[in-house]
Structure 1
Amino acid sequence: MTEQPKALKLTVLLVSSLTIMSMVTISPALPQMSEAFKDIPNAEFLVKMVLTLPALFIATISPIAGQLIDRYGRLKLLYVSMVLYAVAGVSGFFLDDLYVLLATRALLGVAVGVSMTVVNTLVADYFEGPARQKFVGIQVAFMSLGGILFIGLGGVLADINWRYPFLLYLFSLVVLPLALKYLYEPERAPRPVPGEVRKKSPGIIWLLFVNVMVMWILFFMIPVQVPFQMVEIGIDSNSMVGAAIALSTLFSAVSSFSYSRMKDKFSFYSIFAAGYLLMAAAFVIVAMAESYLMVTLAMMLAGLGMGMMIPNTNIWVMRIAPVEIRGREIGRLTTFWFLGQFLSPILLLPVSRSYSISNTFYFAAIALLVISVFFLLMQISSSRKPAVQ
Structure 2
Amino acid sequence: MNSESWKVKLALLLVSSLTIMSMITISASLPDMTKTFSDVPNGGKLVKMVLSFPGLFIALSAIAAGLVIDKIGRLKLLGVALVLYAISGTSGYWLDNLYAILAGRALLGISVGITMTIVTTLVADYYHGKARQKFAGIQIAVMSLAGIIFISLGGILADINWRVPFLLYLFSILIIPFAYLYLKEPLKAEDTHQEVKTVKSPKIIWFVFANVMLMWIMFFIIPIQIPFYLKSIGVEKNSLIGLAIASSTFFSAIGAISFSKIKDKFAFKQIFGLGYLLMAIAYVCIAYGNSYAMVMVAMLLGGLGMGVMIPNANVWVMQLAPLEIRGREIGRLTTFWFMGQFLSPIILLPILDIVTQSQLYLIIAAVLLILSLIMLVFYFMTRKTESVNEL
Write out aligned runs for 1:67-216 (5 A).
67-187=67-187, 188=189, 189-193=191-195, 198-216=198-216
Equivalent-residue separation in structure 1 for 2:276 and 2:365 (angstroms): 9
Quickly say closer, same or farther: Cα 1:46–1:357, change in 2 above 3 A: closer
Cα deviation per residue 1:248-294 (whole Å; 9 max; x = unaligned)? 21111111011111111111111111111111122222222144333
Q: 2:20, 2:58 → 1: CA distance?
A: 12
Aligned residue runs from structure 1 range 4-15, under 5 A: 4-15=4-15
Equivalent-residue separation in structure 1 for 2:45 and 2:359 (angstroms): 25
The answer to whether the 8 Å contact 1:2/1:127 transfers is: no
The corresponding residue for 1:269 is: 269
- Percent identity between the aligned chains? 57
Give the CA deviation at 1:163: 3.4
Task: Encode CA deviations 1:20-51: one digit per residue, 9 max, x unaligned.
Answer: 12112233333444454455444444333333
Supply the AA of the counterpart residue of 1:198: T
Aligned length: 387
Segments of structure 2 that go 5 or more residues without pairing to the other structure are none
Within 5 Å, which residues of 2 pair with 1:279-290?
279-290=279-290
TM-score when scaled to structure 1? 0.92
- Contact 2:31–2:228 under 8 Å retained in 1: no
The answer to whether the 8 A contact 2:276-2:372 is kept is yes
Q: Match of 1:258, as an amino acid?
A: S
CA RMSD, 1 decimal = 2.2
Correspondence for 2:370:
370
Q: Which amino acid aligns with 1:53?
A: F
Q: Distance in 1 between matches of 2:137 and 2:148?
A: 17
Note if contact 2:91-2:101 (Cα within 8 Å) is conserved in structure 1: yes
Alpha-carbon contact 1:2-1:129 (below 8 Å) kept = no
**1:218 and 2:218 correspond:** yes
- 212-221 vs 293-302, greater mean Cα deviation: 293-302
Contact 1:2 1:131 in 2 (8 A): no
Q: CA deviation at 1:205?
A: 0.5
Aligned to 1:48: 48
Cα distance, 1:102 vs. partner?
Answer: 2.3
1:78-121 deviations in Å (ceiling 9; x for gaps): 11111111222233333334333322221111111111111111
Q: Which residue of 1 aligns with 2:389?
A: 387
Question: 1:334 is matched with which residue?
Answer: 334
The CA distance in 2 between the partners of 1:360 and 1:76, in whole Å, is 44
Q: 1:25 to 1:291 in 2, by over 3 A?
A: closer
Distance in 1 (CA, whole Å) between partners of 2:282 and 2:97 is 41
Find the residue that maps to 1:314 and give its secondary structure: helix
Shift of 1:241: 3.6
Q: Deviations over 1:321-369 (max 9, x none)?
A: 0011111111111111111111111111122321222222222222111
Pair 1:359-2:359 in alignment:
yes
In the superposition, the TM-score normalised over structure 2's length comes to 0.92
Q: How far is the alpha carbon of 1:137 from its aligned partner?
A: 0.5
Deviations 1:187-236 (A, max 9, x none): 2243334xx76110000010111111110111123223334444555555
Gaps of 5+ in 1: none
* Distance of 1:118 and 1:257 partners within structure 2: 22
